[in-house]
Structure 1
Amino acid sequence: MLNDQPLVFRKSSYSNGQGDCVEVADTSTSSFVRDSKTPDGATLSFPGGAWGAFVEDIKDSKFGV
């Protein structure tokens, strides 16, 4: 919850349907990421466009994966 507003999480379109993925919720200032298997567990927050930049770097194979 952010400022008394619930975060709306979405699963990746690449999710394999097995529950082995992350979920992301975006606000105007941050992205929040959690494990889909434990939605009540820890949530990571990333400022501004940091999460999007990370995802783009993965797509561009900048991490060797």
Structure 2
Amino acid sequence: MAEPTWQKSTHSEEGSACVEISPTPTTIRIRDSKHPTGPHLAVPPAAWSEFVRTLNSPRARRGTPPT
């Protein structure tokens, strides 16, 4: 199995700690950039898409918790 290719958000500043992802057609791997050799999460692409959609929602931008 090939090593995952990790990528940071384009909104991340150089040298800052953030979440990194490694997408494949069947899984999105998620890790903490401060601990690159530590554990990571693996979720289906649909779950990742819903997470990103929720973060980008007007409600999330206002800081209103989901109901």
Under TM normalisation by the shorter chain, which class is it? 0.7 to 0.9
* Residues in 1 aligned to 2:25 and 2:56: alpha-carbon distance in whole angstroms: 23
Larger radius of gyration: 2
TM-score for the superposition, normalised by structure 2: 0.78
Residues 1:53 and 2:50 aligned together: yes
Q: Structure 2: which 5+ runs fail to align?
A: none
Q: Give me the identity figure in percent.
A: 34
TM-score for the superposition, normalised by structure 1: 0.80
The corresponding residue for 1:19 is 16
**Structure 1 residue ranges (4+ consecutive) displaced by more than 2 angstroms after TM superposition:** 16-19, 61-65
Supply the RMSD in Å over aligned alpha carbons: 1.6
Total equivalences in the alignment:
62
